[in-house]
Structure 1
Amino acid sequence: MATALFPAVRKSLGKVRWYLEGMMGADAYHRYVDHHAATHPGCEPMTERQFWRDKYDWEERNPQGRCC
């Protein structure tokens, strides 16, 4: 009985993690890569490090209302 509980708990925790990452923007790079592959096939996307640097630079140049 306990072994049947673990997959359900793991699945639930995975959904919570997915939700929190989406809410906090932590999934932005993965969304970028998916979008880039769909709109620019054959072109190499930015690395994750380049992506985050570009994203934060853009946010500094274009301040918008955000909580933090």
Structure 2
Amino acid sequence: MPTAGVTTVPAAVLDALRRAGRGLAWYTRGLVREDAYERYVAHLRATHPDPDHPVPTPRQFWREQADRQDDHPEGRCC
């Protein structure tokens, strides 16, 4: 029995909103380079699949990124 003043949202609209939200989250992660570690690991596994080439932990990766930016500060405003 419907309640007065309450509307339901069609499933297709909810699906479209979910897809848009996931797309926005994906775009934002790429924009702020939050996905850099995952992309680096995928690159390492594709180009250096041997076990002698270890994959760094996220902490090691970001430390190396920060060190590299400190050593080569071009392209930064601050």
TM-score (normalizing by structure 2):
0.75
Q: 1:48 to 1:66 in 2, by over 3 A?
A: same
Cα deviation digits, residues 7-31 of structure 1 (max 9, x gap)? 2211111111111111111110011
- What is the CA RMSD across the aligned residues, in angstroms? 1.6
CA distance in 1, matches of 2:33, 2:61: 13
Q: Are positions 1:51 and 2:57 aligned together?
A: no
Q: Map 1:18-57; keep pairs closer than 5 Å.
A: 18-43=26-51, 44-57=54-67
- Equivalent position SS for 2:74: coil
Higher helix share: 1
Q: Identity, % of aligned pairs? A: 43
Show the counterpart of 2:12.
Answer: 4
Where structure 2 has 5 or more consecutive residues not aligned to the other structure, the ranges are 1-8
Where structure 1 has 5 or more consecutive residues not aligned to the other structure, the ranges are none
Show the counterpart of 2:3.
Answer: none
Bigger Rg, structure 1 or 2: 2
CA distance in 2, matches of 1:67, 1:11: 34
